[in-house]
Amino acid sequence: MSPRTTVQSMIKSKLFDSIIYYSFIFLFLAVSFIPFNIVLDYKIKGIPFHFIYIGGFTGILLVLSFLKNPRLTVFDKWLIFLTIGLSLSFITSIDRGHTIRVLLGFFSKGILVAFLTERIFKNRTKTTVAILVFCVSLVALIGLVELIFRWNPYPALRGWSYYYIIVSTIGNPLSLAAYLVLFFPLSLWYSRNKKNIIKFLPFLFIVFAILFSFSRSGWVALFCAVIIYFLKKEFQKKIIRNWIHLSSFIVIFSVAFFLLPHPVKNYFKSKFNVRMFSSASFEHRLKSYITTWNILKDYPLCGVGFGNYPKVHEKYMVEGVHRDTPTPDNMYLRFLCDTGIIGAGIFFVFIIYWMRKLWKSRDNPVVWAIFCGLIGFLINQLTADLFLWTAPQFAFWMLLGMGVGIIGNNGTGNQNW
């Protein structure tokens, strides 16, 4: 047997598939449990370490997956189209070097992740769901331990102004909530077996961690994801049949809230106050629409360059916008400013097209759970630029690629469950 034949047979082997699959799982675990941009915030020749680590990892897996299957799918071609659309912002970028770095980061931590998971997750769906739910519930559990014992495995993440706000291993309460919302519907599907109470624990951990992130946008995203998830009649029937789980959750939630210290209860109440609509943060987000319009008037087609919004923030900001908050706190406005009408338009078309594909395959319960989580995350983007945070960005593109892999590029979604 020639060396070439030996290599080809190795590439076609199940062992080769397993190496790619578990290497990616390892990468997901690293992204979930290591807040790179906080605890490993150093650079090598001007490049952030996590860019090199994640970019190198995904780059190697890209090569291996192409050796396995060099054919481009429809989804792959859409991802290339999206990359080109966002890269057009280079034309009018006010800092092209910075734009290149941000584009490379977005590609390695996002688009390339979707490319990989569409290929490597589609034949291991049940195993993947179990691993993902376990991992995310552990992140949530660490957050709850942080809440109760005021302890975080990373000293740099300790000492938030309110000790009962949790950040877990993600490093920021808003990003933590967004990350958990993505996986919440999958935890619902995972807990569908009412005879196994252990499978219900991830659901509980995730819900309570989202609540104690004190992220209002996370709460709204969670509420929307739950409502959409149970719009399907079959799930409405299941929640009635699983009355033990529902009753247990209500009792646990009620008792837990009753036992909370008064400062925590008061902080919950302050989050649901009519005065929040007159708060400085609300005004900042509202006035950022005017700031965006001012930027678009000068950079309508290709924007100021991907990642360059902070560099023009003070120039175009209007009264009511925080000078020290160089972001509109809205990912869609950020896309418009950074990439212009062309780049943002291509992004919106891409998202709408593939979300519609997932919607058409909603009879597959896992696809439906992924769809609901993605919808919750996209709603959350109205109040934060979450595509610029490593963990939620990575998780979004991973789940999107996984969903597309399950349904196939023709959108049939006919796997048996």
* DSSP string across 112-143: HHHHHHHHHSTT-HHHHHHHHHHHHHHHHHHH
Number of domains comprising the chain: 1
Q: Which residues pair with 44 in a beta bridge?
A: 47
pLDDT score at 166: 87
Mean pLDDT, range 261-276, rounded to an integer:
65
Burial class (CB in 10 A: 0-12, 13-18, 19+), 96: middle
Give the pLDDT score at 107.
Answer: 92
Within a domain: 109: yes
Question: What is the b/e burial string over 242-252, where b = at least 16 CB atoms within 10 angstroms of the residue's CB?
Answer: beebeeeeeee
More confident call, 156 vs 138? 138
**Can you tell me the mean pLDDT for 134-149?**
92
Average of per-residue pLDDT values in the chain:
84
Calpha distance 412→409 (Å, rounded): 8
Contact 286, 79 (CB under 8 A): no
- State which H helix or E strand residue 362 sits in: none
pLDDT tens-digit map of 311-331: 998 899 888 888 888 889 899
Between the alpha carbon of residue 414 and those of residues 345, 401, 407, the distances in Å are 31, 17, 7
Question: How many whole angstroms separate alpha carbon 337 and alpha carbon 323?
Answer: 17
| Cα 93–chain centre separation | 26
264 in a domain, yes or no? yes
d(CA 373, CA 183): 6
pLDDT per residue as tens digits for the range 216-228: 889 899 989 988 9
Three-class secondary structure of residue 48 per DSSP: strand
Q: In the prediction, which pLDDT does 376 show?
A: 95
Q: What percent of the chain has pLDDT over 90?
A: 47
Q: Is residue 3 part of a domain?
A: no
Count, residues in the chain: 417
- Inter-residue contact 170 to 395 (CB < 8 Å): no
- DSSP-assigned beta bridge partners for residue 199: none
* pLDDT at res. 188: 87
Task: State which of 243-247, 252-256, 372-376 shows the largest mean pLDDT.
Answer: 372-376
pLDDT interval class at 161 (50, 70, 90) = very low
Any bridge partners for residue 47, and if so which?
A: 44
- DSSP H or E stretch at residue 44: strand 43-44
Report whether pLDDT(374) > 90.
Answer: yes
DSSP 8-state assignment for residue 196: -
- The domain in which residue 32 lies consists of 10-407
Confidence of residue 245 (pLDDT cuts 50, 70, 90): low
Q: Are strands 47-48 and 43-44 parallel, antiparallel or unpaired?
A: antiparallel
Tell me what pLDDT residue 113 has: 95
In a domain, 43, yes or no: yes
Please tell me the distance from the alpha carbon of residue 252 to that of residue 30, in angstroms, as a whole number: 32
Tell me whether residue 144 is in a domain: yes
The model scores a pTM over 0.75: yes
Residues forming beta bridges with residue 48, ordered by sequence position: 43
Whether 274 has a pLDDT exceeding 60, the answer reads no
Q: With cut-offs at 50, 70 and 90, classify the pLDDT of residue 156.
A: confident
- The answer to whether residue 100 sits within a structural domain is yes
- Indicate the pLDDT class of residue 270, thresholds 50, 70 and 90: low
Structure tokens at 108: 């390695």
For the ranges 6-10, 189-193, 399-403, the lowest mean pLDDT is seen at 6-10
Q: Which two tokens stand for residue 331?
A: 């990912």
H/E run at residue 61: helix 49-68
pLDDT of residue 281: 78
> Helix (H) and strand (E) counts for the chain?
19, 2
Whether residue 31 is predicted with pLDDT greater than 50 in this model: the reply is: yes
Domain assignment present for residue 2? The answer is no
pLDDT-derived band at 348, boundaries 50, 70, 90: very high
- Distances from the Cα of 208 to the Cαs of 93, 138, 181, 204, 392, in angstroms? 42, 12, 11, 6, 18
pLDDT, tens only, 70-129 = 889 999 999 999 999 999 999 999 999 999 989 998 999 999 999 999 989 888 898 999
Q: pLDDT tens-digit profile of 292-309?
A: 999 999 999 999 999 999
The CA distance from 369 to 390, in Å, is 22
Task: Give DSSP secondary structure letters for 268-294.
Answer: HHHHT-GGGGGSHHHHHHHHHHHHHHH
Per-residue pLDDT at 234: 65
For residues 50-70, average pLDDT? 86
Q: Is the pLDDT reported for residue 173 higher than 80?
A: yes
Is 413 within the bounds of a domain? Answer: no
Cβ-based burial of 75 (10 A; exposed 0-12, middle 13-18, buried ≥19)? buried
- pLDDT above 80 (res 239): no
Structure confidence at residue 415 (pLDDT): 42
What CA–CA distances, in Å, run from 25 to 65, 115, 130, 199, 313? 15, 15, 12, 21, 38
Checking if the pLDDT of 414 tops 50, the result is no
Contacts of 120 (CB under 8 A, 6+ apart): 17, 20, 21, 24, 61, 65, 405
Between the CA of residue 264 and those of 160, 166, 172, 400, what are the distances in Å?
A: 14, 12, 19, 36
